[in-house]
Amino acid sequence: MLRFLLFSVVVAVLCFLLQSFLPTWVDPSIWLIVGFLFILSFAGHAYIQWRLKVDAENMTTPYFLMSGVRLLGSLIFIIFFIKNSTSSIFTFVLNFFLIYFLYVGFEIYWLVTNLRRNF
């Protein structure tokens, strides 16, 4: 979990730097995006780690369940903001998916390192 928290701090610092130096590329709701994806990913990591303690042999079901929950939650989040936002939709969606793919990339990295340790 410590690596996940450190990664989230790095993402927040990158968003802050981008917002400071390239404000036209960053949507004003960037912090809501970062917070939402942090909460979603943190809950997913906590659930998967808990399931690994309960049943270490079966990791695929909780992993795919949390991937589906993250995807569905993200789609609902995007649709809600597109319907209610007055800012640029393109900038919002671009910012969202860049941060989304950063978190997914970190999850794949975390998964590979955990699998490598188990084998």
Q: Confidence band (pLDDT; 50, 70, 90) for 114?
A: low
pLDDT in tens, 27-81: 888 999 999 999 999 998 888 888 878 877 777 888 888 889 999 999 999 999 8
Domain that holds residue 63: 2-118
Number of folded domains in the chain? 1
Say how many CA atoms lie within 13 Å of 13 toward its Cβ: 6
What pLDDT, in 10s, does the model give residues 78-99?
999 889 877 788 999 999 999 9
State the Cα–Cα distance between residues 40 and 32, nearest whole angstrom: 12
Which of 10, 73, 70 shows the shortest CA–CA distance to 41? 70
